[in-house]
Amino acid sequence: MALAPGTWWRWVGVLGVVTGIGILSFYSVVAGWTVGYFFKTLTGAFSHAITGEESARIFSEFIGSPGISIVLLFAFIALTMYVVAGGIADGIERWSKVLMPVLFGILIVLAVYALTLEGASKGLEFYLKPDLSKVRAGTFAKALGQALFSLSLGMGTMITYGSYLSRKENLAVSAGYVALFDTVIALLAGLVIFPTLFAMGLNPAGGAGLVFVVLPTIFGKMPLGTIFGSLFFLLLSLAALTSTISLLEVPVAYLVDEKRWPRRRAVLTMGTVAFVLGIPSALSQGAVNVLSALPKIGMGFLDLMNALFGNYSLSIGSFLIAIFVGYRWGVKNAVGEIEHDGTPFPLAPQWAFLVKFICPVAVAVILGYIVVTGQYF
Amino acid sequence: MEGKSTDRVERGTWGSRIGFLMAAAGSAIGLGNIWRFPYVTGQNGGAAFVLIYVAFVALIGVPVMIAEFTIGRSTQKNPIGAFEAWR
């Protein structure tokens, strides 16, 4: 059964599937960089101290090389395809059950190490002591955008993963766990980065290049830096993999369900689409001038993909899902589904209030903010 | 909607609760947490941003995630199929 047949709500689903493929394409480019940096660090590229300028040059040469970036993009999508081709229980689930504990273990090791560096406490203070004078309108936009992106909302993945659940599962508790794990991992990542940066006397506002440019400058200065650095980029690669898996599963599920395609064929097709769509993003970091600064748009192709799919379409998708459940399907019906088989949902009234009023308004405000200011999150 | 049992076999299901949680957490946990979160936090004043972020996760993120899980499970379909065919 489906919820709203023959209506334009179908396009919300289409938006979700398209967003999944769109994000997969450029996300895999960055994921490829993390794999490249893992090998770079492991083979001693940052075993000696380098300056910020040297590090920036190494990074721009690396991402500006057409061969390397396309090969890494291909490799990452191929690995993603391999996992997804295995199916739900034998592919995605089996890999996730190995990768997630490994990821958590690496993160704990890195955080413990970072916190023992001399001068780490200044980083902790910056990270944990709120300075409300720095809060602006943009802070809220960035925080909500980060929350939606980080929780993989509005891109069809959680609908798809939910579709493989049995009626016995407690959906509210599951969502709570997923959000808790996600937040704990993000907070732990901060516990690795900020103490390390402050211990090495660096500026925390490093921007997108923080991980690829700033961190490599300190691997050479810190004890066991090459091991620390290699583990860090391995961590990033594994984290990216479990996400690209879910992004690929969205269009694959569509072809398997609606077009009755065999899973392998669906994986091959959609993986290829994501790879081809990812090529211009891979070439937009200096390899091809037109793609690096698109005429009239003023940004590179990868940034454009991030703006379109990582900002607009996932926000619009999240907004419409809240509207759909809040008003079209109705919170009563949704609560009925959640409470199926007698599963308790004591927070149902609060959830209904948030879904009907707070979520759509908050997401619409953020959407308005990025439209008006052009400040993407 | 013929052959519901064979559909389920073809689509597959999660083998265990912990397996589903690991997969869904794996979907959520990614470059957003480890690459993006620290630098966005760094650019937006540190701890104050973290507090606002956690509030949004609880008040907006979790409710929308419950909504998505519910849509998926009630239809047992991909996003397009979920909104499309009605029995």
Place of tokens 């957003």: B32
Residue in the structure block whose two tokens are 């500006």: A64
For residue A337, the chain B residues in CB contact (below 8 A) are 70, 73-74
- Three-class secondary structure of residue A166 per DSSP: coil
- Cα–Cα distances (Å) from A147 to A49, A135, A208, A318, A353, in that order, read 35, 17, 17, 11, 19
Residue A337 scores a pLDDT above 80:
yes
Residue A288 falls inside a structural domain: yes
Q: How many domains does chain A have?
A: 1
Average pLDDT over every residue of A38-43? 97
pLDDT at A252 over 90: yes
Q: Do A30 and B56 touch (CB under 8 A)?
A: no
For all residues of chain A together, what is the average pLDDT? 94
pLDDT > 90: percent of chain A:
84
Asked whether residue A132 is domain-assigned, the answer is no
pLDDT(B2) > 80: no
Mean predicted confidence (pLDDT) in A170-192: 97
For residues A243 and A135, the model is more confident at: A243
pLDDT score at B44: 87
- Local confidence band at B9 (pLDDT 50, 70, 90 cut-offs): very low
Domain that holds residue A304: 10-124+137-373
DSSP state for residue A215 in the 8-state scheme: H
Cα–Cα dist B61/B28, whole Å: 11
Query: Does residue A2 fall inside a structural domain?
Result: no
Contact: A211, B35; criterion CB under 8 Å: yes
Minimal C-alpha gap between A59 and chain B (Å): 15
Inter-chain contacts counted by CB atoms under 8 A, chains A and B: 410
Query: In terms of Cα–Cα distance, which of B65, B77, B1, B11 is closest to A180?
Result: B65
CA distances from B8 to A166, A169, A258, B13 (A): 11, 17, 13, 7
Q: Which residue has the tokens 């769109």?
A: A22
Q: Do B68 and A162 touch (CB under 8 A)?
A: yes
> With 70 as the cut, is the pLDDT of residue B10 above it?
no
What pLDDT does A6 receive?
63
pLDDT at A7: 76
The band of A324, judged by pLDDT with boundaries at 50, 70 and 90, is very high
Does residue A180 form part of some domain? yes
> Which has the higher per-residue pLDDT, A195 or A208?
A195
Picking from A25, A80, A150, A167 by the largest number of B CB atoms within 10 A of its own CB, the best residue to mutate is: A150
B contact test, residue of A19, A108, A134, A146 with most B CBs within 10 A: A146
Is A24 part of a structural domain of the chain? yes
| Mean pLDDT confidence for A331-343 | 95
The complex's ipTM? 0.94
| Residue B85 pLDDT greater than 60, yes or no | no
Whether the predicted pLDDT of A108 surpasses 60? yes
pLDDT value of residue A1? 59
Predicted confidence band of residue B5 (pLDDT cuts 50, 70, 90): very low
Q: Across residues A288-293, what is the average pLDDT?
A: 95
Of B60, B71, B83, Cβ closest to residue A147: B60
CB contact under 8 Å between B38 and A253, yes or no, is: no
